[in-house]
Amino acid sequence: MDATCPDVKRVQDKAKNLAEEGYRVVIIGKADHPEVIGIKACADLYSNEEAIVISSVNEALVNIEKIKQAKKIGIVIQTTQKSENFKKILPIIAESSKELKVHNTICSTTFKRQQEAQALAKEVELMVVVGSKSSANTTNLAEILSEITKTIHIEGPEELDLYEDLLEKINKIGVTAGASTPESVINEVINRIGD
């Protein structure tokens, strides 16, 4: 049984199609993330040129010569990427491309969760982000929120003990979680904060 997330499968298919159409595939995402490894493998199977993975403005600049040499560049994005990162990298690639095709493949659920969490963060003194510290979407969520208000990233309710002094001083706390965080864990965190 193929348990690949449908959104991730869609990105893999787009990368494959771009490669088949003769585009040099550029993946905006973290090179060591399993999703990106899979997307790159799909693109590389159907291309004579290895896909380029870019996670930052600096990496875009490092790869600029490869981009300039390509006749056509096709971009896909790791589904859990921050849209702000994509917005910073895209102009650098666009300036150096002869022909450019972009598929904005950021997961709509991830994007919506980020927007909702940002709105909540503006109303509270502390945001608690619940989820794996190895999860790209959860880590990105914590980074985004930390630019708005004080934010802590925990994997489970037991980690709240590390922030006991902070929690006692805060009146308004917001809780959000990564996409793969079980609802039971989120509820345990909320209950523990409420005690």
* Terminal alpha carbon distance of the chain: 43
Strands (E), the chain: 24-28, 52-54, 73-77, 100-102, 126-130, 150-154, 173-177
Alpha carbons 192 and 195: distance in angstroms, whole number: 5
Cβ neighbours of 66 (radius 10 Å): 15
Catalytic residue status for 183: no
Residue of 20, 21, 35, 84 marked catalytic = 35
Find how far residue 99's CA is from the centre of its chain. Answer: 26
Amino acid identity of 43? Answer: A
Q: Looking at the annotation, which residues are catalytic?
A: 35
